[in-house]
Amino acid sequence: MNPRILLNKLIITAGYYPVVLLDGPRQSGKTTLTKAAFPDKAYVTLEPLDTREFASTDPRGFLSQYRSGAIVDEVQHAPDLLSYLQNEVDRDPTPGRFILTGSQNLAISQAVSQSLAGRAGILHLLPFSREELAGFSNAPKDLFELLWSGCYPRIYDRNIPAQQWLADYVATYVQRDVRQILNVGDLGRFTTFLRLCAANTARELKLSALGEDAGISHNTANAWLSVLESSFLCCRLPAWHRNINKQIVKAPKLHFFDTGLVCYLLGIKEPAQLRHHPLRGAVFETWVFSELYKKRIHLGEVPQLFHFRESCGIEVDFIEPLADRTLLVEAKSGETIGSDYFQAMHALEKLLADKGTDGKIEKQLVYGGSEAVVRSGVQVVPWNAL
């Protein structure tokens, strides 16, 4: 197993709590990571129907098999088990007894908050970051190949062609997970909605328009998007504002966590097609978002990322407030640095200064080229050095 950045944090957290929950999207590497972190622990998965039924109908009997603790995989299939796990860890609160994994964030987090509050540490694992992926000999060396292939582990662990694996992933997700979470009758319409969301990655979220295009109501669109978020496929990036101007646009942006999935849903068949695709810039921006997000989440931190847009024109892709400074980040897929790449960050910096905002502003441009420089007070970062 190539080392995951989250490994040390997982081990440390298990030293604090009797239960650790590791959640994330399907096939993000949760099982591999937990087995690597705790090789001597018993392992059981609730994926088989008979094991799932045993855990659900006789939870005390199920847990009695694992008095010394265990890794319990796919725990979302038996959420009521957590109530009985509470009694078990209250009896023996030894840190690190049970390591749980799951892939439906909303269902699990509610169950944990109700049954295991104060007893469980919660961590999240997303697909590989660029840094983690670099450890594979078959990792893409070209930007557009990377964006097109995405970062799900099995594509690289098993050398499965990206488009084949992603097609199977989407089919399995829609046919199984969506049915379980939403009980959607019209899966074709849900698939259309999923593809429309992909076409709107890196754009301000307009649920009514999305719903209208998919032939569903605003409320249904909101419910379906919540399912995509709880499945760790995408998230809403909130707008950043500090009451500096009434013209600030406060709508969130939609971003996916994996650009390979976006490219598959958009019908992009090969990396060369992405290079000339009208959504190339949006796909690159989403990739930068995912890298910034993974950097924090894989350290066990809560990402604090925002976007900024003023209706008169200033727009900055990402803002990350840090303890000693505020980081502004622009994402540009072009290989040549243009002077216009810096304008929005400079304009926002001036706007903040005019409003008397204290604190240091750091500016960073991530672009599709290969040269790392400092220009006009902006740190220019090549995509392969992010």
Quote the pLDDT of residue 189.
Answer: 87
Spatial strand order of the sheet with 325-332 comes to: 306-309, 315-321, 325-332, 360-367, 378-382, 373-375
Q: Is the pLDDT of residue 241 over 80?
A: no
Provide the pLDDT confidence category of residue 2 given band limits of 50, 70 and 90: confident
* Mean per-residue pLDDT of the chain: 91
Q: Is the pLDDT of residue 164 over 80?
A: yes
Q: Is the pLDDT of residue 318 over 70?
A: yes
| 100 against 175, higher pLDDT | 100
The percentage of residues in the chain with a pLDDT greater than 90, rounded to a whole number, is 74
Close Cβ partners of 366 (under 8 Å, ≥ 6 residues apart): 288, 329, 330, 331, 332, 381, 382, 383, 386
**Mean local confidence (pLDDT), 108-122:** 79
Q: Is the pLDDT of residue 106 over 60?
A: no
Quote the pLDDT of residue 79.
Answer: 87
Q: Is the pLDDT of residue 180 over 80?
A: no
Cβ 103 vs Cβ 76: under 8 Å? yes
Q: Is the pLDDT of residue 313 over 90?
A: no
Quote the pLDDT of residue 192.
Answer: 92
Quote the pLDDT of residue 354.
Answer: 76
Structure tokens that stand for 73 in this block: 């995989």
Quote the pLDDT of residue 172.
Answer: 86
What does 201-234 look like in DSSP terms, one character per residue?
Answer: TTEE--HHHHHHHHT--HHHHHHHHHHHHHTTSE
Quote the pLDDT of residue 107.
Answer: 62
Quote the pLDDT of residue 19.
Answer: 96
Rounded Cα–Cα distance for residues 219 and 377 (Å): 45
Q: Is the pLDDT of residue 312 over 90?
A: no
Quote the pLDDT of residue 45.
Answer: 97
**Mean local confidence (pLDDT), 227-239:** 92
**Mean local confidence (pLDDT), 177-204:** 85
CATH topology of domain 7-124: Rossmann fold (3.40.50)
Q: Is the pLDDT of residue 351 over 90?
A: no
Quote the pLDDT of residue 368.
Answer: 96
Quote the pLDDT of residue 105.
Answer: 61
Residues of the chain with CATH 3.40.50.300: 7-124
Determine the 3-state secondary structure of 22 from DSSP: strand
**Mean local confidence (pLDDT), 119-134:** 94
Answering whether pTM is above 0.75, one says yes
Check the CA dihedral 95-98-99-102 and report its sign: negative
Provide the pLDDT confidence category of residue 323 given band limits of 50, 70 and 90: confident
Model confidence over 264-275: pLDDT tens digits? 999 999 999 999
To 5 degrees, how large is the angle CA 240–CA 245–CA 247?
Answer: 85
Cβ 355 vs Cβ 244: under 8 Å? yes
Structure tokens that stand for 185 in this block: 């009758």
Determine the 3-state secondary structure of 32 from DSSP: helix
Model confidence over 11-45: pLDDT tens digits? 999 999 999 999 999 999 999 999 999 999 999 99
**Mean local confidence (pLDDT), 103-130:** 82
Determine the 3-state secondary structure of 350 from DSSP: helix
Of 184-198, 215-229, 240-254, 324-338, the one with minimum mean pLDDT is 240-254
**Mean local confidence (pLDDT), 228-248:** 79
Provide the pLDDT confidence category of residue 242 given band limits of 50, 70 and 90: low
